[in-house]
Amino acid sequence: MPLDLQALYPKLIHLMLDTVFVVDRDNQIAFVSDACETLLGYRADEMIGTPITGYMHPDDLAATRASIVRVMNGQPHVDFRNRYVRKDGAIVHILWAAFWSEEVGARIGVARDVTALWQAEQELRFLAHHDPLTQLTNRSLFNDRLDAALHAAHRHQSTLALLFLDINDFKQINDIHGHAAGDRVLCTVARRLQACVRETDTVARMGGDEFTVLLTDIQSPDAVAHKVAQILAVMAEPLGAEFGAIDMPSCSIGVACYPADGQDADTLLSHADGEMYRVKRHRSATGIT
């Protein structure tokens, strides 16, 4: 007995994990498969007869309308991404494959939920430019921002300051209290540094116990000195009770200003690093703790 495939097709469509949409010339939803309830939280009968654009994220409407025009002009679009707003208000990221059917007189699209993929992509992008422990900007992104800031400072005849910070005697914390405790101290240093600067400034972990701070559009040398004094004061605050017997270590800060101490990134970094070690030597020679 031959199979009645015509009768089987609707059941197959509703078994698909991806959602099938059929949308007419006026953007009204003519058909949606059962998977839509998992995707957007709406039952099929709630969506049929309503405009599909009403479910799209407002920020993606322009790009989506351009894709719709492309599809209706006979060019299938099989790799389009946009966002929809679920019935519960959550945002879902969707990958579409769509084409226009002259026979049906409608746009047919298959929608796949790629929210988890999008989140993984965002995390990978973040990790590519940030330190995984402290969540601060990493060396690579910091160098990019320093180069961009130098170009802007040159163009606008403005100044910037680069601070190079090293935690004094940090190795002792790792040796005595363990690396987990040392990591917690590094995270505390990171949070305190971020709290000292503006959103337009950049704090980075360069590696180990070394950090850099990029201060843009500095008004005067006194402003830099004030910022260094603020950072030193904040870093001198004791650790919380959760750190037990661990004392907050002091830090040494070297400063380089553009254009006085150099006009390129390498020169400024070298100058700030040298100044930081000069401060360390002075600390050791005078017995400052």
Listing from the earlier edge strand, what are the strands of the sheet with 210-216? 202-207, 210-216, 160-167, 251-258
Cα separation, 41 vs 214, whole angstroms: 46
Q: Quote the radius of gyration of the chain (alpha carbons, Å).
A: 29
* Set 209, 247, 264, 273: catalytic member: 209
Q: Active site includes 79?
A: no
Residues 6+ apart with CB under 8 A from 95: 79, 80, 81, 111, 112, 114
Q: Are 53 and 70 in contact (CB under 8 A)?
A: no
In the Cβ-directed half-sphere of 66, how many Cα atoms lie within 13 Å? Answer: 6
Sign, CA dihedral 47-84-116-100, equals positive
End-to-end CA distance of the chain: 92
Determine whether 244 is exposed, middle or buried from the number of CB atoms within 10 Å of its CB (0-12, 13-18, 19+): exposed
Active site residues: 209
